[in-house]
Structure 1
Amino acid sequence: MSWNKLYALRSYLRSSLWIVPFFALVLQQILFRTALVLEEWTTWVPRWPLGTEGTVAAMQAIISLALSFIVFTFGSLLVAIQIASGQLTPRIIATTLLRDNVIRFTVGLFIFTLLFAIGVISRVNTSAPSFIVWFSGILGVASLAAFLYFIDYSARLLRPVSIIHRVAEQGFEVLNLVYPAPLAKHEEGSPPHHRLGEPARIVAHLASSAIILAVDVKALTARAQRADGIIELSARIGDFVSQRQPLFRLHGGAAAVPDHDLRRTVAFGRERTIEQDPTFAFRVIVDIASKALSKAINDPTTAVLAIDQLHRLLRSVGRRQLGNEYIRDAEGCLRVVLPTPDWEDFVQLTCREIRIYGTENLQIARRLRAMIENLDAVLPETRKPALRLERDLLDRMIEKVYLLPEDAALARIADTQGLGGSAEKQHLARCRGDSGEFER
């Protein structure tokens, strides 16, 4: 199986709710039949205290409970997904909710318990081993406990702060993958741009139009090294690529690399994912903030919570070496050019839309300023021009939005709580910093 198909399969398995319940079904069949075969090895298990009728009644109760749990779980999950996607963003369905292992394994436990209890009932009249009956009873109690825990867990999971924090943690994971190196103190600006000239050959995207989800960089580097050339990806991860649009630009000996070998290194899909896309976590959180600031929802406090996590992410990005689009082999020769977002991309994605939608709200104007001033104080000098531009744009927006000078003056005060924190000296917290390289 090619790399892109294997990646698509893994991504599908991670975001599919039915996979764990299906394997629970298979596991139940294996375990139940194994227990029947090894019946003579379980004679140490105490005798089941109920008779045939009592056992049947107990198993029927477990079956009823398991069925009720399954129906309630799927029903409430569908409703919760609709509400959460409507109030937050639809992008949390695939990135957060369907990938939650607690939900998947809880449903798997219910399926396992249901089938096990059915198997016990079918063998009560043929003297089912005590081990199986006891185990089924334990599963019933475990399912009840899991259901009670699941209700509490779901209520906490669907809170906006929980969703935003989970997306931010996924963002940190992809940042560690794409930008693992810290920013050198002696760095002066961006790495030099390599002029590659006209490509020897261009490889177009022939499949259906889709979004680039991931790229097998190691395979591309190895192929370029063997061919003694340079492979340039024409679009970056997260970009929409239409049919017959240029996908690769081949330089030097890389022109001899077969087209199908190159296309196998790129995974496509209908919707962006976070695995290799460093800006998508920012995009999801900004979408949540933008929707919270809409007139229909009008929830600026949720937008403040979103800025909190964007602050963490942007602070971490500012301390990383972002010039990773030029990938070299072990000998230091340039082999792959993979476009990646730069610092200005991250800053604009974080600030622009929230500023446009939320400047008229005091909480957003103050919290956005607190983030910008904190980052301006703790990040290296090369990161500050983009931040200061955003602060200037925020000031100019405040001048146009607020008619009363008192409100405009209040909106210019940095406040990490939005509105209600300490007074004008709130921005002095920017000097805090932390001792690690990357804030998490």
Structure 2
Amino acid sequence: MAFSFSVDRLRFLRNRLRDRLWVKPLVVCLLSIATAFIAKLADGSGLMAFVPEIAVGSLETLLSIMAASMLVIATFSVASMVSAYAAAGSTATPRSFPVVVADDASQNALSTFVGSFIFSIVALTAVKNDYYAAAGLFILFVLTVFVFSVVIVTFVRWVDNIARLGRLGSTIRKVEQAAEAALRRRRATPWLGGVAAQGKPCGTAVFAARVGYVQHIDVAALQCWAEERQARVLVAALPGTFAAPGRALAYIRDDGGDGAEQDGEAVAAAFQIGRERLFDDDPRFGLVVLSEIAGRALSPAVNDPGTAIDIVGTLLRLFVLWNAPSKEVDEQVPLHDRVEVPEVSLRDMFDDAFTAIGRDGAGVVEVSVRLQKALRALAAVGDTEMRNAALYHARLALKRAEMALAVDEDLAALQSAARPPEAAA
């Protein structure tokens, strides 16, 4: 039980560290300092008689060049990344910022440049103070050439990446990847490791001590608390829910089925509350962000229906993925049988994804036609619940488009796309 908790909690904390730009550079800086001193270990070994002699002047020159250039490149990389982040927020949506910041290629490049600068400064200082003997100088020279090679390769790859970072297409792909990861995780564990909630929640309500979004639920901690008190915890607020006064996070019920008069502070502490929604455990948030990008593209100021059409295709892929059968669910054994968790509402997911597009794209015939085709496709491949949700939004989008489109030919094309295949035949 403790192992399960630690893995889930560490995953959440690891993803939070990925959003901090200082983490990787700090780690690489510490490794760079350690690497500069590792070369000293060679002086106490038998390499002294075998390694060639390295001129101190040549090594100092190489380290000086690296120190001067790496500081400039690191400063340039930070400026480029900040510019890309600003572009992502202005062209897509501010909610896409976390996935752009978490770009591994840019963080790795910045870490490499900063780490190389620290390595060259530390190594140059040590060389000028005669810290190394002949063997140490040779090992330091090899390490310097290796670091310089890594910098060159990283810079070339980073230039290709920074040219795309912050662009609208790249941002959409990153949001799609984040949404897909969240959907796969929830598809594999629809009840977050607990058991399915039965009926309406009842018992003693537990409320949040602060206002914000539920970002993560420590189900393992809830299980431990429930086992100690012979109670059951019924989760009422899934990740992504806005916690406010009067909105219960969970309900406590004893094994007899009655409300348990128990201290709910520990239960409330298992709910991570923050100011912003996160992609990790909230599959609906990715759909919301994609819908916001499409809504901005359809605004009169932008007028980019092609991006909205691209988003409709992206949403279609994500819902097909959600509908695909999962073997992991069939083979899953509940780890936390005292914690009841409701499933994500498919109707709410459709509302998040298609309401804004159907409203803002009602007057654009190409967007309306593509939306009708996508919803009809989902109605054909999904189960009853998905079919009903898809047909509802198809009818709603058609009704809005019929009120917005004034050209008869546009209406005819839309109505033809909205017609079921058997009716069209």
TM-score, with structure 2 as normaliser: 0.83
Give me the whole-angstrom Cα distance separating, in 1, the residues matched to 2:252 and 2:197: 20
Secondary structure of the equivalent of 1:224? helix
Query: Structure 1 runs of 4+ off > 6 angstroms?
Result: 2-8
Shift, 1:132, TM fit: 0.6
| Long gaps (5+) in structure 1 | 183-190, 416-423, 429-440
1:120 equivalenced with 2:123 (yes/no): yes
Instruction: Identify the residue that residue 379 of structure 1 maps to in structure 2.
Output: 382
Instruction: Identify the residue that residue 227 of structure 1 maps to in structure 2.
Output: 229
Shift, 1:117, TM fit: 1.5
State whether residues 20 and 105 of structure 1, in contact with CA within 8 Å, keep that contact through their aligned partners in structure 2. yes
1:59 equivalenced with 2:63 (yes/no): yes
Instruction: Identify the residue that residue 293 of structure 1 maps to in structure 2.
Output: 298
State whether residues 314 and 346 of structure 1, in contact with CA within 8 Å, keep that contact through their aligned partners in structure 2. no
Secondary structure of the equivalent of 2:151? helix
State whether residues 182 and 283 of structure 2, in contact with CA within 8 Å, keep that contact through their aligned partners in structure 1. yes
State whether residues 5 and 267 of structure 1, in contact with CA within 8 Å, keep that contact through their aligned partners in structure 2. no
Secondary structure of the equivalent of 2:164? helix
Shift, 1:10, TM fit: 3.7
Cα deviation 1:334-363 (Å, max 9, x = unaligned): x33434431111112211110101121222
Instruction: Identify the residue that residue 140 of structure 2 maps to in structure 1.
Output: 132
Q: What count of residue pairs does the alignment treat as equivalent?
A: 399
Instruction: Identify the residue that residue 106 of structure 1 maps to in structure 2.
Output: 109
1:146 equivalenced with 2:154 (yes/no): yes
1:408 equivalenced with 2:408 (yes/no): no
Give me the whole-angstrom Cα distance separating, in 2, the residues matched to 1:5 and 1:376: 37
Give me the whole-angstrom Cα distance separating, in 1, the residues matched to 2:23 and 2:228: 40
TM-score, with structure 1 as normaliser: 0.81
Shift, 1:18, TM fit: 0.6
Which residue of 189, 192, 199 corresponds with 1:194? 199
Instruction: Identify the residue that residue 308 of structure 2 maps to in structure 1.
Output: 303
Aligned pairs (5 A) from 1:244-259:
246-253=248-255, 255=260, 257-259=262-264
Distance 1:139 1:195, change over 3 A: closer
1:15 equivalenced with 2:23 (yes/no): no
Shift, 1:196, TM fit: 5.0
Identity across matched positions, percent? 22
Shift, 1:155, TM fit: 1.9
More deviation, 2-11/215-224? 2-11
Distance 1:269 1:192, change over 3 A: closer
Which residue of 33, 36, 50 corresponds with 2:37? 33
Distance 1:255 1:150, change over 3 A: same
Instruction: Identify the residue that residue 28 of structure 2 maps to in structure 1.
Output: 24
Give me the whole-angstrom Cα distance separating, in 2, the residues matched to 1:373 and 1:32: 62
Give me the whole-angstrom Cα distance separating, in 1, the residues matched to 2:240 and 2:215: 6
Give me the whole-angstrom Cα distance separating, in 2, the residues matched to 1:310 and 1:8: 25
State whether residues 227 and 256 of structure 1, in contact with CA within 8 Å, keep that contact through their aligned partners in structure 2. no
Shift, 1:19, TM fit: 0.5
Instruction: Identify the residue that residue 355 of structure 2 maps to in structure 1.
Output: 352
Give me the whole-angstrom Cα distance separating, in 2, the residues matched to 1:113 and 1:301: 43
Give me the whole-angstrom Cα distance separating, in 1, the residues matched to 2:103 and 2:335: 38
Shift, 1:280, TM fit: 0.7
1:284 equivalenced with 2:289 (yes/no): yes
Give me the whole-angstrom Cα distance separating, in 2, the residues matched to 1:46 and 1:413: 80
Which residue of 71, 77, 89 corresponds with 1:73? 77
State whether residues 228 and 252 of structure 1, in contact with CA within 8 Å, keep that contact through their aligned partners in structure 2. yes
Distance 1:100 1:196, change over 3 A: closer
Shift, 1:366, TM fit: 1.6
Cα deviation 1:139-181 (Å, max 9, x = unaligned): 2232122112111112234333332222222222222222227
Which residue of 266, 285, 309 corresponds with 1:261? 266
Instruction: Identify the residue that residue 419 of structure 1 maps to in structure 2.
Output: none
Give me the whole-angstrom Cα distance separating, in 2, the residues matched to 1:328 and 1:54: 64
Structure 1 counterpart of 2:151, which letter?
S
Distance 1:265 1:7, change over 3 A: farther
Distance 1:280 1:5, change over 3 A: same
Shift, 1:227, TM fit: 3.4
Instruction: Identify the residue that residue 364 of structure 1 maps to in structure 2.
Output: 367
Shift, 1:315, TM fit: 1.8
State whether residues 63 and 123 of structure 2, in contact with CA within 8 Å, keep that contact through their aligned partners in structure 1. yes
State whether residues 113 and 136 of structure 1, in contact with CA within 8 Å, keep that contact through their aligned partners in structure 2. no
The structure whose residues are more often helix, as a share, is 2
Distance 1:221 1:139, change over 3 A: same
Instruction: Identify the residue that residue 209 of structure 1 maps to in structure 2.
Output: 211
Structure 2 counterpart of 1:345, which letter?
D
Give me the whole-angstrom Cα distance separating, in 1, the residues matched to 2:240 and 2:14: 18
State whether residues 196 and 251 of structure 1, in contact with CA within 8 Å, keep that contact through their aligned partners in structure 2. no
Give me the whole-angstrom Cα distance separating, in 2, the residues matched to 1:150 and 1:11: 22
State whether residues 369 and 413 of structure 1, in contact with CA within 8 Å, keep that contact through their aligned partners in structure 2. no
Which residue of 152, 158, 169 corresponds with 1:161? 169
Cα deviation 1:388-427 (Å, max 9, x = unaligned): 1222122222221111111222334549xxxxxxxx99x8
State whether residues 100 and 174 of structure 2, in contact with CA within 8 Å, keep that contact through their aligned partners in structure 1. no
Give me the whole-angstrom Cα distance separating, in 2, the residues matched to 1:18 and 1:108: 9
Distance 1:404 1:20, change over 3 A: same
1:237 equivalenced with 2:231 (yes/no): no
Give me the whole-angstrom Cα distance separating, in 2, the residues matched to 1:330 and 1:169: 28
Give me the whole-angstrom Cα distance separating, in 1, the residues matched to 2:65 and 2:349: 55
Which residue of 79, 89, 96 corresponds with 1:92? 96
Structure 2 counterpart of 1:172, which letter?
E
Q: CA RMSD in A?
A: 3.2
Secondary structure of the equivalent of 1:140? helix
Shift, 1:36, TM fit: 1.0
